[in-house]
Structure 1
Amino acid sequence: MKTVSLLIPVYNEASFLPLLFQSIQQQDYPQAAIDIIAVDGHSTDTSFSLLKAYQQQIPKLTVLSNPRRSAPSSLNMAIQIAQGDYLIRMDSHTEYAPDYIRQCVAALDKTGADNVGGHIRIKATNRVAQAIALATTSLFGVGNSQFHYTDQEGYVDTVYLGAYRRQVFTTIGYYDENLIGAEDDELNYRLIKQGGKIYLTAAIQSYYYPRDSLKKLWRQYFQYGYGKFGVIRKHTLPTSIRHLIPALFVLSLLIGILSSFYHGLGLYLLLPVIVSYLFALTIFTLQTTYKTTLSLFGLVALVFITLHLSYGIGFLTASATQLSKHLRH
């Protein structure tokens, strides 16, 4: 029987930890074959004390403290002491099906892939979260990222979270700690680049609790965009063209606004961009909401706008920061 190590980065997750550990304790995979490593990034809530309390109840739970705080550095700390044949990344914002670990092991054994994962299924706690769930399972919201769509199965370029063979990390290295928010995508890009395979299957089921406000969503996707620039800079080429579209959209808006001060020339760029975007926004929002409830139309539209602008601005902020550093040197 394969042994597994669960890698769990934690930062201010006190409200989600009970659900997480309930999910782990209800797994139908033999508990004796599971070790758990939770790394707290100096949380400012009660997360660390909760983890220590769970450690008293769960003998195979190791709790570490990470002064560097970031998820990739926490994951790397966990990998260094993990004992399992397979290493499964877990997220505190996620509830896991009782057969989650068993299905991860089965998929790795059956497919021979280096990393396997499931689709991202979303549980909403309020209307904003419900709108986020709808928008992030739309082509207009997240592009062709396949793990967002539950009808996709097969070899892909990335999956949600992921279960890895131990040797992946000895072969291609650990998570890049400089790419906060894009560490998973970058690791998977390196894996595929070096001949590895990633498999997506509907048998691996989990349920993600999204951010419950537009402000939190903005921060999350700003960080994703910021991190994605680092991935592209590191590897020269984008992992997918979809990662460039929000930045190009925001850049066209900025150019249009700035150039409109010079004899209104920017209006010739700005108006077509805005009109085209609003048209697409209306069509995709209707497409997303008409099957569920049109009362969410406004919120879903705001979520789409938040996703696109925050990601694009994050990407451009990272590029401007890098350019500034280059010019100073």
Structure 2
Amino acid sequence: MLSIICPIYNEAKYIEGCIQSILLQDYPKQQLEVLFVDGMSKDGTRDVVNEYSRRYSFIHLLDNERRIVPVAMNIGIKASKGDVIMRLDAHAQYPSNYFSVLVRELKRLNADNVGAACRTDVLNKNPKTLAIKEVLSNKFGVGNSTFRLGVDKVMEVDTVPFGCWRRDVFDKYGFYDERLVRNQDIELNKRIVCGGGHIYIVPDTYCTYLARETFMSLAKNNYGNGKWNILTVYYTKQFKSLSIRHFIPLLFLLSLIVPSIFSCIYFPIGILSLLSLLLYGLLISLVSLSLVLKEKRCFWYLMKAFVVLHLSYGCGSLVGMFMIKYGK
């Protein structure tokens, strides 16, 4: 029995595509249950799920009045009946072998969690959205995250997106940390690894994540990611909940701010901020130019997407530090 848990909130734009990719899975439907755990959506998402649940007995809608993902996951895990539990995201779509490959590899590898590469795409394709897609798929944009870059062989890793676990993993390592609005998957996976468990990424399937399509929504999402990097460390009391790459945008932002402040005391120190900015500008220009030549994307949209991604992420981390400092 495989239990699929999908936290949702106001996903009317994406939910039908997600459900359709579930219905096309080659996994036996009589051994499947799909639990959509909804944060009381107001945009018609619930109507879509309810319509499908009337047509397919294995689809169910559960309520999550607290609206955050770790609570939704814990509600789903406790309500589920499966021997294997898998998390999905409504912003993603899945090839027909996604369920069967992950369940097979979970058993074959005797793993605690398995996942696959998460490719980035956009629902509506135009020069701006395609530039955002490229930046969110690029190592300079998102770091050296294995699950974003893909693999050609089975690899043991520290985290995967949208995991697939044996049910007893939650008895052994605990449930999701409900304090964490973001980074809850990373924190759970770090807990598994630190407890002696094994997580693998496998090459035989993948999922496609549908990215935000405006610079404002890109900034808002990554501001939250950056803020919750800091708050995750604060709540878990350990840096190993995350990786070094999660703090690079903050370090870049501080390299601009700190020398500028000290230049009020000794003006030449401000040159360090200028050098950092020039180096960053040169790097994103070179990376953007390579994407223009390789993928035929718009240079200026690429540049803007890199800047929005990195600065919003760094600003979120900086705000997270102030929230801890002043108890907000």
TM-score by length of 1: 0.93
Question: Structure 2 counterpart of 1:307, which letter?
Answer: L
Q: Which residue of 2 aligns with 1:149?
A: 149
Aligned partner (choices 241, 244, 247) of residue 241 of structure 1: 244
Tell me the distance in 2 between the aligned counterparts of 1:122 and 1:249: 25
Question: Structure 2 counterpart of 1:308, which letter?
Answer: H
TM-fit CA distance, 1:104: 0.9
| Identical columns (%) | 32
Question: Structure 2 counterpart of 1:133, which letter?
Answer: K
Alignment check: 8 A CA contact 1:86 1:165 kept = yes
Question: Structure 2 counterpart of 1:72, which letter?
Answer: P
Q: Which residue of 2 aligns with 1:232?
A: 233
* Residues 6-56 of structure 1: per-residue CA shift (max 9 Å, x gap): 001011101211111111111111001001111110212111122222211
| Secondary structure of the structure 2 residue equivalent to 1:28 | coil
Structure 2: gaps (5+ residues): none
Question: Structure 2 counterpart of 1:139, which letter?
Answer: K
Q: Which residue of 1 aligns with 2:67?
A: 69
Tell me the distance in 2 between the aligned counterparts of 1:160 and 1:64: 22
When structure 1 is superposed on structure 2, of 247-256 and 119-128 the one drifting more is: 119-128
Tell me the distance in 1 between the aligned counterparts of 2:228 and 2:185: 10
Tell me the distance in 2 between the aligned counterparts of 1:95 and 1:163: 16
TM-fit CA distance, 1:62: 2.0
Q: Which residue of 1 aligns with 2:114?
A: 116
Q: Which residue of 2 aligns with 1:273?
A: 276
| Secondary structure of the structure 2 residue equivalent to 1:9 | strand
TM-fit CA distance, 1:151: 3.5
Aligned partner (choices 68, 77, 80) of residue 78 of structure 2: 80
Aligned partner (choices 13, 16, 19) of residue 17 of structure 2: 19
| Secondary structure of the structure 2 residue equivalent to 1:204 | strand
TM-fit CA distance, 1:264: 2.8
Inter-CA distance 139–91: structure 2 relative to 1 (3 Å threshold):
same
Alignment check: 8 A CA contact 1:146 1:152 kept = no
Alignment of structure 1 residues 108-187 onto 2, 5 Å = 108-124=106-122, 125-126=124-125, 127-151=127-151, 153=153, 154-187=155-188
TM-fit CA distance, 1:265: 4.2
When structure 1 is superposed on structure 2, of 184-193 and 150-159 the one drifting more is: 150-159
Structure 1: gaps (5+ residues): none
Alignment check: 8 A CA contact 1:29 1:101 kept = yes
Please state if 1:312 is matched with 2:308. Answer: no
